[in-house]
Amino acid sequence: MEKILISACFLGKKVRYDGNANTLTNEIIQKWRNENRLISVCPEVSGGLSTPRAAAEIQPDTISVQKKIPTITLSEKHELTNKKKILTKEGENVTNAFYRGARNALELCLKHEIRFALLKESSPSCGSINIYDGSFTKIKIAGEGITAEMLRANKIEVFSENNLELLISKLST
What's the predicted TM-score (pTM) here? Answer: 0.89
Q: Which domain holds residue 101?
A: 4-172
Using an 8 Å Cβ cutoff, are 118 and 160 in contact? yes
pLDDT on residue 73: 47
pLDDT on residue 16: 97
Report which of 69, 147, 138 is spatially closest to residue 101, judged by C-alpha positions.
147
pLDDT on residue 18: 97
Mean pLDDT, all residues of the chain = 91
**What's the whole-number mean pLDDT along residues 54-66?**
79
pLDDT on residue 46: 98
CA distance 11 to 17: 15
pLDDT on residue 60: 87
Q: How many domains does the chain contain in total?
A: 1
Q: How confident is the model at residue 151 (pLDDT cuts 50, 70, 90)?
A: very high
Q: Greatest CA separation found in the chain? A: 47
pLDDT tens column, 71-122: 554 444 444 456 899 999 999 999 999 999 999 999 999 999 999 999 999 9
CA distance 173 to 157: 15
- Which range of 60-64, 87-91, 168-172 scores highest in mean pLDDT? It is 87-91
The CB density around residue 31, as the number of other CB atoms within 10 Å, is 10
Using an 8 Å Cβ cutoff, are 106 and 72 in contact? yes
Strand pairing class (4-7; 38-41): parallel
DSSP category for residue 49:
-
